[in-house]
């Protein structure tokens, strides 16, 4: 018999079946808009609310949600610079607080946006999940974040993965863990705008995944489409041809140069 050492979580389809879905079912009431009915609130800062996930579908996991704003149909593209900065500071702090409890093998911070992202509630939110028995570092290496350097500004580096996890385009923002400055949320917002408005006209979904690796905080942003069967069946990721990569790098560095100029007029 072969004993696989695979990091995996146990999923409850019973709990999942009770979950509302406002992405597929537009007429479903949004639970994150009815703030007076929210239960299990952990902390509030302005219109940002951190609370326990009402539908904890994962076994041996501490599942929490961060509601990003009180505007149901808004998204990261449209936040003011100061809201984006406050939100990221809040998320990184809470993520670190859950890590510091020492109760979990690892703690993940991530976001789903759009119909292909795997999310079920369209109201903008992120999730922090502490996992008792799973260490995400076992599945990932630094190589998954390295590749073509697109832009570096004030200690924040943007790369396109040469060895992506799932394939096609994976953007990575890397910053030193001890000083995640405002440049990090600023550059993330430029990236999210590019993914939804410039990257590919059919792209309406993305994920953000945050990692702590080698004294760095890394945010991987993945534009999402239907997952390739070559990955599902054979674990073979596909990467872009050089021509495509060069075009994308050029577009993005133009956007980031404009951002850097606007910051230091």
Tokens, residue 72 = 């149901």
Q: Where does 181-241 have alpha helices with state H? A: 183-194, 229-234
Q: Which stretch binds Zn ion (CB under 5 A): 30-38, 141-149, 187-195, 217-225?
A: 30-38
Tokens, residue 254 = 């133009």
Site track 72-91 with Zn ion (rule: CB under 5 A), x = hit:
x-------------------
Tokens, residue 125 = 């939110």
Nearer to Zn ion, 72 or 258 (CB): 72
Q: Which stretch binds Zn ion (CB under 5 A): 103-111, 121-129, 201-209, 249-257?
A: 121-129
Query: Is residue 125 close enough to count as binding Zn ion by CB under 5 A?
Result: no
Q: How far is residue 236 CA from its own chain's centroid?
A: 22
Site track 133-152 with Zn ion (rule: CB under 5 A), x = hit:
--------------------
Residue 222's SS3 state is strand
Nearer to Zn ion, 29 or 244 (CB): 29
Query: Is residue 166 close enough to count as binding Zn ion by CB under 5 A?
Result: no
Nearer to Zn ion, 22 or 144 (CB): 22
Site track 33-72 with Zn ion (rule: CB under 5 A), x = hit:
x--------------------------------------x
Q: What are the angstrom distances between the C-alpha of 77 and each of 11, 13, 194?
A: 32, 33, 9
Residue 90 CB-half CA count within 13 A = 24
Query: Is residue 32 close enough to count as binding Zn ion by CB under 5 A?
Result: yes
Nearer to Zn ion, 30 or 246 (CB): 30
Residue 7 CB-half CA count within 13 A = 12
53: Cβ–Cβ under 8 A, 6 or more apart, which residues?
63, 64, 65, 127
Residues that bind Zn ion (CB under 5 A): 30, 32-33, 72, 123
């Amino acid at each position: 018999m072969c004993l696989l050492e695979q990091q995996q979580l146990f999923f409850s389809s019973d709990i999942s079946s009770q979950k509302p879905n406002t992405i597929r079912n537009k007429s479903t009431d949004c639970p994150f808009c009815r703030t007076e009915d929210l239960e299990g609130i952990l902390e509030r800062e302005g219109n940002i609310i951190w609370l326990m996930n009402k539908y904890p579908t994962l076994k041996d996991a501490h599942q929490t949600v961060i509601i990003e704003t009180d505007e149901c149909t808004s998204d990261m593209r449209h936040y003011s610079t100061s809201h984006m900065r406050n939100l990221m500071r809040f998320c990184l702090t809470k993520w670190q607080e859950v890590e510091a409890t020492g109760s979990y093998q690892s703690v993940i911070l991530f976001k789903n946006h759009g119909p292909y992202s795997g999310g079920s509630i369209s109201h903008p939110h992120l999730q922090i999940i502490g996992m008792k028995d799973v260490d995400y570092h076992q599945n990932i290496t630094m190589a998954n974040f390295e590749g073509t350097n697109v832009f570096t500004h004030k200690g924040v580096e943007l790369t396109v993965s040469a060895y992506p996890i799932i394939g096609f385009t994976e953007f990575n923002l890397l910053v030193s863990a001890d000083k995640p400055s405002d440049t990090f949320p600023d550059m993330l917002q430029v990236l999210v705008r590019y993914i939804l408005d410039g990257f590919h006209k059919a792209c309406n979904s993305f994920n953000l995944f945050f990692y702590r690796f080698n004294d760095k905080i890394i945010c991987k942003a993945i534009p999402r489409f239907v997952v390739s069967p070559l990955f599902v069946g054979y674990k073979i990721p596909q990467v872009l041809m050089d021509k495509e990569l060069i075009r994308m790098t050029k577009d993005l560095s133009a956007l980031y140069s404009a951002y850097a100029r606007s910051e230091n007029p």
